[in-house]
Structure 1
Amino acid sequence: MTRQKPSRRLDFPLFRGLQTRWADNDMYGHMNNVTHYLLFDTAINEWLIERGLLEPLVGGIIGLVVESGCSYHGEAGFPDRITAGVAVERLGSSSVSYRIGLFRNDADTAFADGRFVHVYVDRATRRPVGLSDDWRRTLEEIAQ
């Protein structure tokens, strides 16, 4: 098995600043594994909300995670500043595959690389809905 090389900042079209918190560290003194997934989700959804695509509390469309993964290349923890690089790998009819790199402080190489697949569904029925032209245009801005 060949190990994936860490991504670099130049691999991403979008960046989101995130701050670690005291509670992010585990008993081993570094960021707990589950925190990486929280950072992935925060980076993606914060951007979607800012762009007016997602209204998590009242919107008719919500995103459900149907697949996720993380490759760990190094450590981070409080009080590090994290930058998340975000890209769209695949844009389906109702799904989006996102790639996320987490960068510690000013490092150029990711300490973790993640993958999230969201299926966008109707809030009430939980059935997939096709992505609108507005969604597609916005997501294509960060597609690779």
Structure 2
Amino acid sequence: MSAVRPTPQSRSGYRCFRRIQTRWADNDMYGHVNNVVYYAWFDTAVNTLLIERGALDIHQGATIGFVVETQCHYFAPLAFPQTVEAGIRVAHAGTSSVRYEIALFAEGAETAAAQGHFVHVYVDRESQRPVKLPAALRAVVDELK
């Protein structure tokens, strides 16, 4: 049984955008950005946003996020020296987990070149056990719904 392939989302479906400058090293031997780089961009876009908004302290914070699931669908190639715009939204927020959805757009493009998601489970840094989303994180998550 085959899964239904998603269609590229439009820019209007995302709540926040982050600009990402591609690097020469992002391209693979086929002349486009290698698939693993997309996952790094997902992680970077979301975590940078959370850090800037004071919702995540990666060095001293009591709560950290673990990725427990991730997926990406590719629709069109991206390549150096393009600028990429990462659209971010939250599809679901539970007590201790958040499903972030990210779409990667060539600069100015209306439809996504790639889109996917990852799920963070937030845990206590010391015990590494799930914890309730801290208030500052919950506020940012609610803005992204």
The TM-score normalised by the length of structure 1 is 0.96
Count the aligned residue pairs.
143
After superposition, the CA RMSD in angstroms is 0.9
Deviation at 1:133, TM superposition (A): 2.8
Q: How does 1:103-122 map to 2 (within 5 A)?
A: 103-122=105-124
Paired residue type of 2:37: T
Q: Which runs of 5+ in 1 are unaligned?
A: none
Match in the other structure for 1:86: 88
Distance in 1 separating the partners of 2:80 and 2:64: 31
Task: State the secondary structure of the residue aligned to 1:40.
Answer: helix
Report percent identity of matched pairs: 50
Does residue 64 (structure 1) correspond to residue 72 (structure 2)? The answer is no
Q: Distance in 1 between matches of 2:24 and 2:63?
A: 33
Correspondence list, 1:1-12, <5 A: 1-12=3-14
> Gaps (5+ residues) in structure 2?
none
Q: Following TM superposition, by how much is the alpha carbon of 1:63 offset from its aligned partner in structure 2, in angstroms?
A: 0.6
The equivalent of 1:136 in structure 2 is 138
CA distance in 2: counterparts of 1:38 and 1:133, whole angstroms? 26
Partner Cα distance (1:34, 1:46) in 2? 19
Is the partner of 2:4 in helix, strand or coil? Answer: coil
Once the two structures are superposed, residues 74-133 of structure 1 have per-residue CA deviations (whole angstroms, 9 ceiling, x without a partner) of 100110100000000000000000000000121111000010100011111110110123
Greater Cα offset, 83-92 or 128-137: 128-137
Q: Does 1:31 align with 2:21?
A: no
Counterparts of 2:61 and 2:22 in 1: how far apart (Å)? 29
- Normalized against structure 2, the TM-score is what? 0.96
